[in-house]
Structure 1
């Protein structure tokens, strides 16, 4: 099937994300840090900010009153968690745009930190547009966010190709009729796109 639209995820596809980076100095003990990021400021906890929960509510310390300082450090040090872009993936995105392919972004991201990411990584403003989960209070892999993105940007689902690093989000896209690629590396993505007849840049070996 012809691909008319390509939709990129952002975190771990176009930009690096790792909350351990600032917390290595905030909580030097490896076991304690692993516990904190798994049980206190966990992935599921952070996902609620992606769904639109305000940071002051997220930082409520009733459950972990002894960790107030460490909890509040998450938002304050968020910029350190996104240290660099994934240059190969960005080069692929830009090549697709330059070739006239319709490219948009669909991301689980808190509204405020996404605007910080756009300022830090201007290529996030180069696509036709973006759906940010925190803005619309829907998150992947909920079917509603894919339908919303397709409606807002006039995408034909069967001709839409989605690229995401999280398997459950890839499955969510396929469940609503999109084509989808599980992202593992820029090199693998380039091969997958080339196999579909799409233009990709030569990536450094």
Structure 2
């Protein structure tokens, strides 16, 4: 921490890729033809599953998204998507290595810890159901689909500042997506791009955080 920086008091965490390991494939394998699973999970989003999830992350409900899928991909794929959402907990096979230990250490050190995630309000409950230990350390979490706001747009970070009573200059936001970190920095947060829990510890220490 440089002489011009204020001591850090609050740390805000993204979920998928930072705290929770999200794997679309894990909710589909063993129940669908492997070729179909490969098409759904392809990086170029051949069947639009990542796009449709993004619509739900922005606040659309499953019942509103399904007709769009049926129109664009066919009724059979819409039913696969419905089933995928029903089994969404299976897409969360584990916590990110070292993430729980990082939360525990920061909590013990007295930092206030929060969540801020792009996630559907209809499926976010799976995160705490599968990993209740996260709720033991996070004081509150803002979910984009519930708020109908979306990272990296400024209003969702401004909501976090108001709801969590944050001073962004004394707060750190961690996300594995560069554009989301840039969005946080634009409203005054110390933003860190997450790669691993070990790297996050090193980056936090450079800001004067004890972890």
CA contact (8 A) 1:24 1:33 kept: no
Name whichever of 26-35 and 1-10 sits farther off: 26-35
In structure 1, what is the Cα distance between the partners aligned to 2:122 and 2:82? Answer: 16
Runs (5+) with no aligned partner, structure 1 = 201-205
Residue 151 of structure 1 aligns to a residue in which SS? helix
TM-score relative to the length of structure 1: 0.90
2:45 — aligned with what? 38
| 2:34 aligned with 1:28 | yes
Which residue of 184, 188, 194 corresponds with 2:205?
A: 194
Q: How many residues align?
A: 200
Picking from 156, 161, 170, the partner of 1:145 is 156
Q: Summarize deviations over 1:152-195 as a string: whole Å, max 9, x none.
A: 11101111110001111011001111111100001111111122
Equivalent in 63, 69, 80 of residue 90 of structure 2: 80
Compare 92-101 and 63-72 and name the one that shifted more.
63-72
Which residues of structure 2 form unaligned runs of 5+? none
Q: Is the 8 A contact 2:24 2:41 kept in 1?
A: no
In 2, distance between residues paired with 1:159 and 1:6?
Answer: 9
Q: 1:203 — aligned with what?
A: none
Alignment counterpart, residue 144 of structure 2, candidates 126, 133, 139: 133
Question: Which stretches of structure 1, 4 residues or more, deviate above 6 A after TM superposition?
Answer: none
Map of 2:12 onto structure 1: 7
1:76 Cα offset (Å): 2.1
What TM-score does the superposition give when structure 2 sets the normalisation length? 0.87
Aligned-partner SS, 2:192: strand
Select between 62-71 and 36-45 the one with higher mean Cα deviation: 36-45
